[in-house]
C-alpha cells in the first residue's frame, strides 16, 4: 500500500514534536497511525468558520489518528483508534481533492494532517497547479517547525488550534507539557510563510493564519493568559482569531476531572471574549451556540 518510507521521518518518525523515533512501517507511535495514509471521510464540510467554508463548504479530508489525543476530543472515534479509516494512495488523494473542488468546495481542508505531513507534501506539490483553490492545514497547533518548512509554498491557510498556555493543563489534557512554546514557534513559522490574512472579493480567506481557541470549563484564566502572550508576541492583527465556546462534556471520559464534565458557562466565555476584544483581536468571536454531536461528522461507513 502507499507507504511513506521514502522519508527518513517515517523510518524514525519525527514528523511532529513528539519525535517518537519509531518506524511507522513497523509500528505506530503516539499518534496511533502507521505510515500509510488512513482517511476517515472526504466530504464538503459546512461547519468551519464562514471565510473557510464559503457558500458550499470546505472540501474536508479527515485523517485518522492525532498527535495530541486530547482527553475531551469530540472526534475521538477517528482520532484515538476506534475507527481506523481507509488506506488511500497519493493518486486517490489527488482524485478526491479534484472531486471536492468540482463539487464546489472553496478550499481543500486537511483536517488533522500533522502525522501525515511528510507524505502529503509531494501529493500537494503535484496537485496544486491544477487545484485552483486554497489548501488549508487544519491542525492542533502542536507542530514541528522542520515539518512545517517542508510544506512551504504548499499551504495557503494555516488553521491551527492554540489550546493551552499552562504546562500543567496541556500535560494533563493532551500529554504535552511543552504545548505552548512549541505551538508559539509553529505559529511564528506559519505566519512567516503566509503573511497577514488576504480575502477574496466575496469574503473567503485566500491566504493567512486563523488561530482557533476553544475556551475550556474552569480554564478562563489560562485562556486570557494565552491571548495576552500571543498578542505580546505577534500583535493582534497578524492572524485572525476564532474564539470558540462549544465545549462538549459528553466526549470527556468519566475519569476526567470535574471541570471537563460540565459545560462552559456564559460568564467564562464572555470574560475571555472581553479580553480578546480589549487586546484588539478580530475574527470569529463565537462560532455557534450549539454543542455536542450535532456538529460532529458521521465517520462510519465512509467510502471513497
Whole-number minimum distance, CB 35 to ligand SF4, in Å? 9
- Whose cell is 505566519? That residue is 191
In the complex with ligand SF4, the residue whose CB is nearer, 22 or 276, is: 22
Whole-number minimum distance, CB 66 to ligand SF4, in Å? 9
In the complex with ligand SF4, the residue whose CB is nearer, 28 or 46, is: 28
Classify residue 250 by its DSSP letter. Answer: G
Phi, psi of 283, rounded to the nearest 5 degrees:
145, -125
**Quick check: helix, strand or coil at residue 103?**
coil
In the complex with ligand SF4, the residue whose CB is nearer, 107 or 147, is: 147
Write out the three cell numbers for 195: 503573511
Whole-number minimum distance, CB 7 to ligand SF4, in Å? 11
When CB distances to ligand SF4 are compared, the closest residue is 29
Opening angle at CA 297, ends 295 and 298, nearest 5: 135
Phi, psi of 298, rounded to the nearest 5 degrees:
-85, 115
Whole-number minimum distance, CB 93 to ligand SF4, in Å? 18
In the complex with ligand SF4, the residue whose CB is nearer, 139 or 252, is: 139
Find out whether 230 and 211 touch, Cβ atoms under 8 Å: yes
The H or E element that residue 221 is part of is helix 220-234
Q: Measure Cα distances from 3 to 89, 116, 164, 265 in Å.
A: 9, 11, 34, 46
Whole-number minimum distance, CB 217 to ligand SF4, in Å? 27
Whole-number minimum distance, CB 1 to ligand SF4, in Å? 18
In the complex with ligand SF4, the residue whose CB is nearer, 17 or 197, is: 17
Which of 175, 224, 241 is closest to 16 using CA atoms? 175
Whole-number minimum distance, CB 4 to ligand SF4, in Å? 11
The residue ranges that bind ligand SF4 (CB under 6 A) are 13-16, 18-20, 22, 24, 29-31, 67, 115
In the complex with ligand SF4, the residue whose CB is nearer, 74 or 147, is: 147
Q: Report d(CA 73, CA 252) in Å as an integer.
A: 7
- Residue 23: burial class (beta carbons within 10 Å; 0-12, 13-18, 19+): middle
In the complex with ligand SF4, the residue whose CB is nearer, 68 or 243, is: 68
Q: Please give the sequence-ordered ranges of beta strands (E in DSSP) within 34-182, or none if there are none.
A: 38-45, 58-63, 86-87, 108-111, 135-139, 157-160
Q: Report d(CA 7, CA 146) in Å as an integer.
A: 13
In the complex with ligand SF4, the residue whose CB is nearer, 85 or 217, is: 85
Whole-number minimum distance, CB 184 to ligand SF4, in Å? 18
Amino acid at each position: 500500500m502507499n507507504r511513506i518510507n521514502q522519508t527518513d521521518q517515517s523510518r524514525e518518525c519525527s514528523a511532529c514534536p513528539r519525535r517518537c523515533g519509531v518506524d511507522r512501517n513497523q509500528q505506530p507511535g503516539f499518534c496511533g497511525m502507521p505510515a500509510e495514509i488512513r482517511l476517515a471521510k472526504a466530504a464538503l464540510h459546512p461547519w468551519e468558520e464562514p471565510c473557510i467554508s464559503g457558500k458550499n463548504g470546505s472540501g474536508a479530508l479527515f485523517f485518522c489518528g492525532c498527535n495530541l489525543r486530547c482527553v475531551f476530543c469530540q472526534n475521538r472515534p477517528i482520532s484515538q483508534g476506534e475507527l481506523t479509516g481507509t488506506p488511500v494512495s497519493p493518486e486517490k488523494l489527488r482524485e478526491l481533492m479534484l472531486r471536492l473542488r468540482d463539487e464546489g468546495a472553496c478550499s481543500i481542508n486537511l483536517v488533522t494532517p500533522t502525522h501525515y505531513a511528510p507524505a502529503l507534501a509531494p501529493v500537494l506539490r503535484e496537485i496544486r497547479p491544477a487545484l485552483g483553490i486554497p489548501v488549508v492545514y487544519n491542525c492542533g497547533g502542536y507542530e514541528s517547525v522542520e515539518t512545517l518548512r517542508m510544506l512551504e509554498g504548499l499551504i495557503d491557510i494555516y488553521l491551527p488550534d492554540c489550546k493551552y498556555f499552562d504546562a500543567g493543563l496541556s500535560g494533563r489534557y493532551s500529554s504535552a507539557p511543552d504545548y505552548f512554546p512549541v505551538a508559539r514557534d509553529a505559529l511564528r513559522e506559519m505566519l512567516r510563510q503566509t503573511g497577514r490574512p488576504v480575502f477574496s472579493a466575496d469574503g473567503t480567506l485566500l491566504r493567512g493564519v486563523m488561530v482557533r481557541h476553544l475556551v475550556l470549563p474552569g480554564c478562563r484564566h489560562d485562556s486570557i493568559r494565552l491571548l495576552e502572550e500571543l498578542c505580546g508576541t505577534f500583535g493582534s492583527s497578524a492572524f485572525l482569531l476564532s474564539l470558540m465556546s462549544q465545549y462538549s462534556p459528553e466526549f470527556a471520559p468519566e475519569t476526567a476531572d470535574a471541570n471537563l464534565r460540565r459545560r462552559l458557562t456564559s460568564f467564562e466565555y464572555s470574560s475571555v471574549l472581553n479580553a480578546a476584544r480589549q487586546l484588539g483581536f478580530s475574527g470569529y468571536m463565537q462560532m455557534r451556540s450549539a454543542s455536542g454531536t450535532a456538529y460532529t461528522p458521521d465517520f462510519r461507513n465512509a467510502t471513497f
